[in-house]
Structures are given as structure tokens and as C-alpha cells.
Amino acid sequence: MSTMELLLFFTVMGVATFITRVLPFLFLKAHRHSELLLHFGRVMPVMILVVLVGFGVIGLLETRQEDATLMLIAMVITTLVHLIFRQAVVSIVMGTAIYVLGVQGVLW
């Protein structure tokens, strides 16, 4: 692919991604105070964490012992940070940082 084709490709993909992220907000603007949407707003962070933990556990079962230990440590830290601060973003970033630092050999 030429440079121009790559730029066109990434531009189209960027616009498509932006549109798919914006449309739900535009369509649901009139239902902003809906009980169902408010409920989803409360439970979605926990649901996302459950999915991440599920994939993490599946990954634990399929990895080497050293990697599994690191993943388990990162999952425990993520859980503890979430229980302490009750902020999904903070706990996800902290657990991810621990895992990445461990993989890079910075922690041990």
C-alpha cells in the first residue's frame, strides 16, 4: 500500500469509529433520565470488570507458571484497589501497570 492509501484507510477507519461512538449518545439523548439507562450506568463498570477477570482467569489456565503468577498478582491488586477506591478506571490502570511492569522485568 502506498502512503496515500494508508492515510485514506486510517482516515476512514477513524471516522467510522468516531461515528459508532457518537451515535448512541445522539439517539439516547432524549432518554437521558430513563431508569433503565441510569441502571446500566451503575452496573456497567462492574460488568466490565467481571468480563476482564473472566478473561484473566481463562488466561491463567493457559499460561506458564511464571506468567500465571504475575497475572494472579495483577488481578489481586486490581481487586484490592477497586475495593479500596471504588473507581473502575483507577483499579484497571493499576492492575495493568503492575502486569506490564512485571512482564518488562521491572518489578523482579
Domain ranges of the chain: 1-32, 34-108
Q: Is 68 in contact with 60 (CB distance < 8 Å)?
A: yes
Q: How far apart are CA 9 and CA 103, in angstroms?
A: 33
Give the Å distances, CA to CA, from 51 to 23, 44, 56. Answer: 24, 11, 8
* Residue entry with cell 492492575: 95
Please tell me the predicted confidence (pLDDT) of residue 73.
87
Kindly list the averaged pLDDT for each block of 10 residues, start to end, along the chain of length 108.
92 95 86 87 84 77 76 88 90 90 81
The pLDDT, as a whole number, for residue 108 is 65
The whole-number pLDDT of residue 13 equals: 96
Q: What is the mean pLDDT of the chain?
A: 86
